[in-house]
Amino acid sequence: MSTTLESAPAAARPQQGRYRSTKVRRQRVRAAWTFLAPMLVALTLVAGWPLLRTFYFSFTDATLSDLSNVFFVGLENYLVYDDGQWYGVLADPIWWRAVWNTAYFSVVSVSLEVVFGIIVALILNAEFKGRTFVRAAVLIPWAIPTIVSAQMWAWMLNDQFGIINQILMALGIIGAPIAWTADASYSMWAVIMVDVWKTTPFVALLALAALQMLPKDCYEAAEVDGIHPVTVFFKVTLPLITPALMVAVIFRLLDALRVFDVIYVLTSNSTSTMSMSIYARQQLVEFQDVGYGSAASTLLFLIIALATIAYLYLGRNRLNLGGDA
């Protein structure tokens, strides 16, 4: 409480306590809900209600051309045993391939982004001439639309005329051009490379913000004691920035689990790189099977929800939702 209130009329009537328990407080709480209402209505319209409808559609035989006249089919879209054969999303090997692809993509690309992000953050944290310029340069991949960066890389990775094949061949690393985006054994790596290029800046910025909040004195102490900088990094810096890195990791992981556009542009609907989002959208839009596609979307939602809940549970002490205003 500040001095402003001490001299206020509310203080003259101590039996009513601080202004928080008075008419002003009630007015403020009412205003708060009034102000929240438009946002809550908007979120219900674009997020809550559509999500419920997706759950509902996943138990029906809805098609894209006819969403109103649908029959309830129970769990048939998920899993059904019919005539000695299993059907449904959970029995589809392509779905499981998509789950595996998404998990592989998420783990590998986020790990690489964290490693490179820390390196870039350490560079940007050093004092040197032209730091602002380097920071702007590093931000460029982040600002470029994913679609555009996918096209730019598709051009550089072009099998016949791409610069990457030319460089690798000139250096004698490969003997013949590689079809990066078409060859199943390379296409996932092409996708990961583009994603790492595009999102490392985000991780680097979060790591940099954490680095800049570190206390200076332990570094001075380490320098006086003559401890090697690498040891200082692993024993002091890394443990101190881990909480901030965990936030970056969870943001990136949740983003990577729903990956769509980079894969769609680079490799289209090829099975070797298909993610869960691509699978669900293909069923929904291209095959017009809203029921089946909704079942896949629901499963993706559950996977991401479980990941989020697990994170919130494990890190609930860390994530402060702000008890104080």
Partner 1 sequence: MTSRQFNKLATRLGFWLLVAFVVVIAVFPFYYAVITSFKPSSDLFRVELWPSTWSLANYVQVFTQRSFIQAIFNSILIATSVVFIALLLGITASYALGRVRFRGRSTVLLVILGVSMFPQVAVLSGLFEVIRALNLYNNPGGLILSYTIFTLPFTVWVLTTFMKQLPMELEEAAIMDGATPWITITKVFLPLMWPAMATTGLLAFIAAWNEFLFALTFTLTDSQRTVPVAIALLSGGSAYELPWGPIMAASVVVTVPLVILVIIFQRRIVSGLTAGAVKG
- Restricted to residues 248-267, the positions that interact with partner 1 (CB under 8 A) are 248, 251, 254, 257-258, 260-261, 264-265
Query: Closest CB to partner 1 among 153 and 188?
Result: 153
Q: Is residue 39 close enough to count as binding partner 1 by CB under 8 A?
A: yes
Q: How many residues does the chain have?
A: 325
Question: Site for partner 1 (CB under 8 A): which residue of 107, 115, 136, 238?
Answer: 136
> Which range binds partner 1 by CB under 8 A, 73-81, 90-98, 195-203, 217-225?
195-203
75's tokens: 């769990």
Query: Closest CB to partner 1 among 81 and 119?
Result: 119
Residues in 61-120 that interact with partner 1 by CB under 8 A: 62, 64, 67, 119-120
Please return the burial class of 135, using the count of CB atoms within 10 Å of its CB with bins 0-12, 13-18 and 19+: middle
Whether the CB-CB separation of 266 and 190 falls below 8 Å is answered with yes
Q: How many residues bind partner 1 (CB under 8 A)?
A: 105
Whether the CB-CB separation of 150 and 216 falls below 8 Å is answered with no
Query: Closest CB to partner 1 among 81 and 137?
Result: 137
Measured distance CA(190)–CA(273) in Å, rounded: 10
Query: Closest CB to partner 1 among 108 and 152?
Result: 152
Residues in 10-29 that interact with partner 1 by CB under 8 A: 19-20, 24, 27-29
Smallest distance from partner 1 to CB 282, Å:
10
Residue 292-321 contact track with partner 1, rule CB under 8 A, x = bound: -xx--xx-xx--x---x----------x-x
Q: Is residue 193 close enough to count as binding partner 1 by CB under 8 A?
A: no
Smallest distance from partner 1 to CB 57, Å:
5
Measured distance CA(232)–CA(228) in Å, rounded: 6
Please return the burial class of 192, using the count of CB atoms within 10 Å of its CB with bins 0-12, 13-18 and 19+: buried
Query: Closest CB to partner 1 among 81 and 115?
Result: 115
Query: Closest CB to partner 1 among 95 and 202?
Result: 202
Smallest distance from partner 1 to CB 228, Å:
12
Question: Site for partner 1 (CB under 8 A): which residue of 42, 174, 238, 310?
Answer: 42
Residues in 152-181 that interact with partner 1 by CB under 8 A: 152-153, 155-156, 158, 160-163, 166
Question: Site for partner 1 (CB under 8 A): which residue of 14, 38, 74, 172?
Answer: 38
> Which range binds partner 1 by CB under 8 A, 88-96, 105-113, 151-159, 174-182?
151-159
Block residue for tokens 């570190």: 214
Q: Is residue 57 close enough to count as binding partner 1 by CB under 8 A?
A: yes
Residues in 200-259 that interact with partner 1 by CB under 8 A: 201-202, 205-206, 208-210, 244, 247-248, 251, 254, 257-258
